[in-house]
Amino acid sequence: MDNSEKEQGGLFLYEQPELMSAEQHGKLGLTPADKPYAFASHARAVPLTLAEFASAQRNYPIVFTNLENPFPVAVVGLLEDENLFINDGVWDPACYVPAYLRCHPFSFAGEQEGRIAVVVDRKASTVTENARYPFFVDGKLATETESMMRFCAQYEAERLRTLNFCTQLRDLGLLASQRAMHTPDGSTEEQTLANYVSVDTQKLAELSDEAVVELHRSGRLASIYLQAYSMENWQPLMIRRDQRAKPAAVK
């Protein structure tokens, strides 16, 4: 599940990110799309922050990108480059939508003179002229735009907090390479579904009392267990993949 640092940064799934300005984007805005998540239809994993673990662990395996620079992602696809939670551009309404995707087409770019700066994906289907929600009104940021910028800034703060958490897991030696296995119907041989990085519960059990207490008091021990519980979602994910493949097989 190492999809490189693109899954950690603000450019993963963004085709043409541009720093938003009134001069360049003054005539543009957002128009809701019939297929709002089509841009993520080929993603097999989506970045997550710590604040999302409780919601995401109900639907997705939560794994880490790699051992060296780990970052959590929700696994939304398996062997093929297909997001199993998107159907015709629409996310499964019964499942949690990661905040990273809800930021799109915006992404936090920093602060300039005390003001939030964002990039906007110019090629996003929702970015149009004569938009329902203009980015700017009379040369100033529209209320809706300011709201989205604040959301992106909040996401960035959570992303940084999550990076700190991942660094702690790595430094404590709690992460390990693992493998999800599956036995296809009619076969007696297991096949590899995915190679991934996860918390090693045995290494967690071997931590010193002092380290465990520190994790507990920081609230991070709960996040570790949520990630571990999410491993129960490999089988439902496989079932979802098989169900999606059935119509194609019938044809």
Predicted TM-score (pTM) above 0.75:
yes
pLDDT per position as a tens digit, 192-226: 888 999 999 999 999 999 999 999 999 999 999 99
Q: How far apart are CA 101 and CA 10, in angstroms?
A: 11
- For the residues 48-73, what does the mean pLDDT come to? 97
70 within domain boundaries:
yes
Q: Is residue 206 part of a domain?
A: yes
Domain count, the chain: 1
pLDDT for 247:
60
Q: Is residue 126 situated within a structural domain?
A: yes
Q: Does residue 176 sit in helix, strand or coil?
A: strand
Residue 51 has pLDDT above 70, yes or no: yes
pLDDT tens profile 130-153: 999 999 999 999 999 999 999 999
Residue 151 lies in domain: 5-243
Residue carrying structure tokens 């019939």: 34
In a domain, 50, yes or no: yes
Which whole-number Å values give the CA distances from 243 to 45, 76, 164, in the listed order? Answer: 19, 14, 38
Q: Which residues of 81-106 are buried (b: 16+ CB within 10 A; e: fewer)?
A: ebbbbbeeeebbeebbbbbbbebbbb
Residue 21, pLDDT > 90, answer yes
Q: How much is the average pLDDT of 176-182? A: 90
248 within some domain:
no
pLDDT at 4: 43
Calculate what percentage of the chain has a pLDDT beyond 90: 80
Does the residue 250 lie in any domain?
Answer: no
Question: What token pair was written down for 65?
Answer: 């990108």
- Confirm whether 251 is domain-assigned: no
Tens digits of per-residue pLDDT, 78-121? 977 899 999 999 999 999 999 999 999 999 998 877 788 999 99
Encoding tokens for residue 121? Answer: 């994906």
Reported as type and span, the H/E element at residue 241 is helix 234-250
If 0-12 CB within 10 Å is exposed, 13-18 middle and 19+ buried, where does residue 192 land?
A: exposed
Secondary element (H or E) of residue 143: helix 143-171
* Token code pair at residue 113: 């003179």
Residue 1 — very low, low, confident or very high, per pLDDT cuts 50/70/90?
Answer: low
Q: Residue 225 is encoded by which pair of tokens? A: 């267990």
The pLDDT of 13-40, averaged and rounded, is: 95
With 0-12 / 13-18 / 19 or more C-beta atoms within 10 angstroms meaning exposed / middle / buried, residue 171 is exposed
Residue 90 lies in a domain: yes
More confident residue, 50 or 183: 50
Residue 165 to residue 62: CA distance in whole angstroms: 14
pLDDT of residue 10: 47
